[in-house]
Amino acid sequence: MGYSTMAHALISYIESYIKDFDIKEMSKSFGFSEIYIRELFLKNIDMPIMQYYKRRRLLISAFDVLHSNKKIIDIALECGFSNHESYTRAFRKIFGMSPSEFRLNRSLIEKRSDKLIMKQDHENTILYGIRKIEQGTYESNTMFPICVKAVSEYLGDNISYAFIMAATGAAFRLVWNREIWELSNIDIYHTLNESNDIYQYGAKALKREFSFLGRDKDITKEDFKNYIKSNIKKGYPVIALGIIGPPEPCIITGYDCDGDVMIGWNFFQNDPEFSSLVGSMDNGYFRCDSWWENTDTQAVMCIGAMTDTCYSDKEVIKMATDVMREREEETYTKGIKAYEAWRDMLLDEKWFKSVSFDDLFSKLIVQNDAMVCICDGRRWAAKYFDELSEKYGETERRLCQNIKNHFNKISSIAEEMMSLIGSWNNTEKMLQNFASRSVREQLSKRIDCAKLEDTKAYEQIKQLYNMV
């Protein structure tokens, strides 16, 4: 169940043309025959391409059934069905009820469950009221801090998202593998050393206890189940890596069937590549019974009871210097040094000669991840230092504002880079731009500019550390 780049490429194309999909046009874009496209899709998605497309149209139509006043027949026609009856039959196969029943019953159930805080019996416990996590939650795209913030809100903590981004190091990180275009470059465990220790800083930011269970060779499914069940029963959500899709953070809000079924929020629960393996509760929580079979389910952790430990701003400032410091660890370059490795690989033509669609798309994902990393991270770093400036005297306040300005410039530079490549609404155009030498040269110049601003911020952060 590994996260397939080819699957991502195939699905991204369909999502870009979801209203007027044509398999012949897709074949031309990929440079493959129509027969091979069908075989490739079935191999990677485990579903015939047209079955997948029709399913996606139905899932999209369900939103209109729930959230609009459109007539069912109008929704059916927009979805590509010729009449009400054929649409209802197809809808019932997926949702277990007709569109009309879905519109009526789903809304009634949601109103009931919203009043619940915790539901518990012998085989299940569910914590209600935990905020949905997805790209854009808290106006951010960094998954682990989003999970920490959602958990903190549920537990009643009043911690700013900017502080969480800074305290976890997410606001300051950049990592690049010098040898390959690696999809895991921006994984949070790369932030300091290649270790899971970084996750504890999320709990430290909330002044709470922290525990962690990794999927080591001697750890069993029962160990994971018992860990999750014990914490959920205490009223503490569990942050997990994996469950659905790749080993990214998500929130387990409950369990059913004595732990065989996990419940919660996941960034990939509606991703077409994985949604066929996932059920949905009335309030939107996922239900997943294949979470252990997903080999990308790598760890579970809990932010628990309050402690007397205080995570000072001086410690957060020290975190920033540790994360931004130039260093190399095996094939990885980290901190400010990562900009050079990123730029050099963009300009090295060996990575772009006679490259396949799949390979180019994979590199584009890595490029996009790095741009989002510094765009989102440095924007929140700027907000953190803006908040910090209010705590100090004039000299320190001025230094904080200078640091803020450098980080805001980097975020703007990242946005310029994204505009050079283009919008995800047109993946084909993005790939053309990314393959272009002239575009990559422009990107490289902006990487150098971002490095310069990060270097200035880093030197000033070190000054601030010595002053506070």
C-alpha–C-alpha distance, residues 47 and 70, integer Å: 30
- More confidently predicted of 370 and 9: 370
Task: Give tens-digit pLDDT for 114-123.
Answer: 444 556 666 7
Rounded to whole angstroms, the Cα distance separating 285 from 264 reads 5
**pLDDT at site 283:** 79
d(CA 388, CA 75): 51
> Which has the closest alpha carbon to 204: 131, 320, 304, 321?
304
> What is the pLDDT averaged over residues 284-302?
94
* Rounded mean pLDDT, 310-321: 93
| CA-to-CA separations, 7 to 48, 222, 358, in angstroms, rounded | 13, 31, 9
Residue 292 and residue 220 in contact, taking contact as beta carbons nearer than 8 Å: no
**307/271 Cα distance (integer angstroms):** 37
State the first-to-last Cα distance of the chain, in angstroms, to the nearest integer.
Answer: 48
Q: Name residues whose C-beta falls within 8 Å of residue 276's C-beta, 6 or more positions apart in sequence.
A: 47, 55
Distance of alpha carbon 170 from alpha carbon 172, whole angstroms: 6
Tokens 């000072």, residue located:
312
Are 333 and 178 a contacting pair, CB within 8 Å?
A: yes
d(C-alpha 49, C-alpha 47), whole Å? 6
- Choose among 234, 232, 283, 235: nearest CA to 261: 232
Q: Name the pLDDT band for 165 (thresholds 50, 70, 90).
A: very high
Tens-digit pLDDT profile for residues 421-436: 998 878 888 999 999 9
Instruction: Round the average pLDDT of the chain to a whole number and report it.
Output: 89
Q: How far apart are CA 387 and CA 399, in angstroms?
A: 13
> Edge-to-edge, what's the strand order for the sheet holding 175-177?
175-177, 332-334, 327-329
- What string of H, E and C letters represents the secondary structure of the chain? CCCCHHHHHHHHHHHHCCCCCCHHHHHHHHCCCHHHHHHHHHHHHCCCHHHHHHHHHHHHHHHHHHHCCCCHHHHHHHCCCCCHHHHHHHHHHHHCCCHHHHHHHHHHHHHHHCCCCEEECCCCEEECCCCCCCCCHHHCCCHHHHHHHHHHHHCCCCCCHHHHHHHCCCCCCCEEECCCCCCCCCCHHHCCCCCHHHHHHHHHHCCEEEEEEECCCCCCHHHHHHHHHHHHHCCCCEEEECCCCCCCEEEEEEEEHHHCEEEEECCCCCCCCCHHHCEECCCCCEEECCCCCCCCCCEEEEEEEECCCCCCHHHHHHHHHHHHCCEEECCEEEHHHHHHHHHHHHHCHHHCCCCCHHHHHHHHHHHHHHHHHHHHHHHHHHHHHHHHHCCCCHHHHHHHHHHHHHHHHHHHHHHHHHHHHCCCCCHHHHHHHHHCHHHHHHHHHHHHHHHHHHHHHHHHHHHHHHHC
Kindly report which listed range (191-205, 252-266, 287-301) carries the lowest average pLDDT score. Answer: 191-205
Count of alpha carbons within 13 angstroms of residue 316, beta-carbon side: 22
Side-chain half-sphere CA neighbours of 332 within 13 A: 18
Tell me, what's the pLDDT at 111? 35
Looking at residue 117, what is its pLDDT? 57
- The type of residue at 307 is T
Tokens at residue 381, please? Answer: 């770093």
Are the C-beta atoms of 36 and 23 separated by less than 8 Å? no
Looking at residues 117-132, what average pLDDT do you find? 78
Q: Would you say residue 81 has pLDDT above 90?
A: no
pLDDT of 242 over the 70 cut = yes
- Alpha-carbon distance 138 to 351, whole Å? 36
Mean pLDDT of 437-459: 98
How far is it, in rounded angstroms, from Cα 240 to Cα 31?
A: 39
Which residue is associated with the tokens 């018992």? Answer: 226
Strands 208-214 and 299-306: antiparallel
- CA 61 to chain centroid: 25
pLDDT at 40: 85
Q: Quote the crossing angle between the two packed helices 34-45 and 23-30, to the nearest 10°.
A: 90
Candidates 2, 236, 281, 239; CA nearest to 127 is 236
Which pLDDT belongs to residue 4?
57
Per-residue model confidence (pLDDT) at position 5: 67
